[in-house]
Amino acid sequence: MTHESEPLGLAELQHRLARFAAARNWQPYHTPKNLVAALSVEASELVEIFQWLTPEESARVMDDPGTAHRVADEVADVLAYLLQLCEVLGIDPLTALAAKIERNEQRFPVPGERDA
């Protein structure tokens, strides 16, 4: 219960989520298929907050403390299920993202920077 004070890295949070699920015997529910469903449901809960907003209103969504908290909470839910999915599949999310960014930098060259 003294976790609040220390800065946490992604890997440590992933381990805490794994211990959290194990302590509650939730692993049988955490098949990859179920975790991707849960991930998509949480992503849709984020969409729900924004669905009727104009683009301009959506840019001001953090101005209201209640909505700001709700958005941060759904962001946390998406990240939690993504890390739990990576845990059960043995994927390193940072390595996967770095590789993706490399590929995208090849795929979408910056205009005028080809020979830089």
Question: According to CB under 8 A, which residues from 10 to 69 bind a copy of itself?
Answer: 10, 13, 16-17, 20, 23-24, 29, 31-34, 36-41, 43-55, 58-59, 61-62
Helices (H), the chain: 10-23, 32-50, 55-59, 65-89, 93-107
Do 57 and 107 touch, CB atoms closer than 8 A? no
Do 88 and 35 touch, CB atoms closer than 8 A? yes
Residue among 27, 65, 76, 114 that touches a copy of itself (CB under 8 A): 76
Of the pair 52, 65, the CB lying nearest a copy of itself is at: 52
Q: Is 91 in the site for a copy of itself (CB under 8 A)?
A: yes
Residue among 18, 65, 96, 114 that touches a copy of itself (CB under 8 A): 96
Structure tokens at 89: 């599949």
Of the pair 40, 65, the CB lying nearest a copy of itself is at: 40
Do 102 and 84 touch, CB atoms closer than 8 A? no
